[in-house]
Amino acid sequence: MTQKLTIAYECINSIGNSLNLEEMLEDIIGTFVRATNAIGGKYISTRRIEPKNIIQIGHDFTMPLKLTSKKDSFSVHTLENSMELLDVFIHEGHFLFAFDQKSDLEHLGNMFVNFSTKITNAIEACYNVEKIHKLNQNLKLQISEEKNKNAFNEKLIISQSRMAIMGEMIGMIAHQWRQPITIIGMVTNNMVIDLHLDNFDKERAIKELETVDKQVHYLSRTIDDFRNFFKPNKLAQTIDFQTVCNELKTILGKSFETHNIELIFEGEKTIQITTFKNELIQVLLNVLTNAKDAFSENTTDNAFIKITLKRLAGGDVSIFVQDNAGGISPDIINKIFEPYFSTKHEKNGTGLGLYMSAMILEKHLGGSILVCSDMQGSTFHIRFSSIKEETSVY
């Protein structure tokens, strides 16, 4: 019983730890092979007409002529040299494990099938991330082709700019989800072990399921927060600065914590602003992610980015974004708002972030953006006016 619980526990923990398909499959198969003393394992994808071997661990082995046809099920095949093959059909592919010694393959097959939902979700997540990466690659090619054109569609470029930061968003979502996913995994693991040991406590199970439900709701809210950012914000709306602060914390908070950058919000947070919220947040995201990248190039103690809001005498609003990342070189400071200018070629920078920020402020928010810098850091000054609520962005 202890060995079976150990195998189950190790296999559960190996699922979904990576958003790269090959790495994730390598974790699952490698763990199962090691825990069950299989001589080898592989994953055969059947998403295309021709089956494709995605990953292989340990010794190679021949495949049977006919694989299991029923999803979320398994079968056992006898191979040459008296070897046995466990074939588990999950999602759109087969997990195959070869054994050269007698093993309880019925039990192992049933156990593996019990993980089918979690494995399916993990595989789908990997495929979705792969689609987004391909989308970003296609986007970069489109932007490159547009370099030598004198005129381009403003609405399309704004959309492309948002898509260009999707790569950053993937990392940010991963940071937001890591802790709740870990909590859900721990709770479910504990419940599985209790069930195997016939140590089920109804009251404790209810509390643990309430914990899972709470974390699931948090994940759902995070999805909505990120999804809302990419929705077109066609009409102006009245918001307070605290709302802007909260959304920036949701999107950037965990990522900045990981990089040991303190995100500070100061000023008149209750000020009511009538503006295009998503466009304003996009401007601030571009400035803040550029500041974060600057810290990666300069070692800074007590790294911080401070965002301060002030209402000016004439009714305009000023937002100051200050960092201590070492400043911008005088040689390039006058070029940073030009289209396609980037100092991040190695990181596949598009050179559109600050240019789009200036364009959004000037053409949609009735404002401007300026920057000053010294050896300690940089300060961006964003200034804009409140606009009528019935105003449309397009």
Q: Which residues on neighbouring strands pair with residue 273, listed in sequence order?
A: 239
pTM: predicted TM-score of the whole model, two decimal places: 0.47
Mention every residue, 6+ apart, whose C-beta is less than 8 A from residue 306: 264, 265, 266, 320, 321, 322, 323
The rounded distance, in Å, linking the Cα atoms of 245 and 354 is 20
Q: How far is CA 117 from the centre of its chain?
A: 21
Q: What is the pLDDT of residue 348?
A: 46
313-317 contacts: CB < 8 A, separation 24 or more? 315/385, 315/386, 316/367, 316/383, 316/384, 316/385, 317/271, 317/273, 317/383, 317/384, 317/385, 317/386
Per-residue pLDDT of the chain (394 residues; tens, 9 = 90+): 555 556 666 666 777 778 888 888 998 899 888 888 899 999 999 887 778 888 899 998 888 888 888 888 999 998 877 889 999 999 889 999 999 888 888 888 888 888 888 888 888 888 888 888 888 888 877 777 765 554 555 566 556 565 655 555 565 566 567 667 777 877 788 788 878 777 878 887 888 788 778 777 767 766 665 665 555 556 788 888 888 888 888 777 777 887 888 999 998 888 888 888 888 888 888 888 888 888 877 777 889 999 999 888 777 889 999 999 888 888 888 888 876 666 664 444 555 678 778 888 887 788 899 999 988 899 999 999 877 655 555 4
What SS3 state is found at 48? coil
Q: If you ran DSSP here, which 8-state letter would residue 82 be given?
A: G
> Is the C-alpha dihedral spanning 385, 391, 393, 394 positive or negative?
negative
Q: What is the pLDDT of residue 94?
A: 93
Q: What is the pLDDT of residue 346?
A: 46
Q: What is the pLDDT of residue 96?
A: 94
Tokens read off for 364: 């949609």
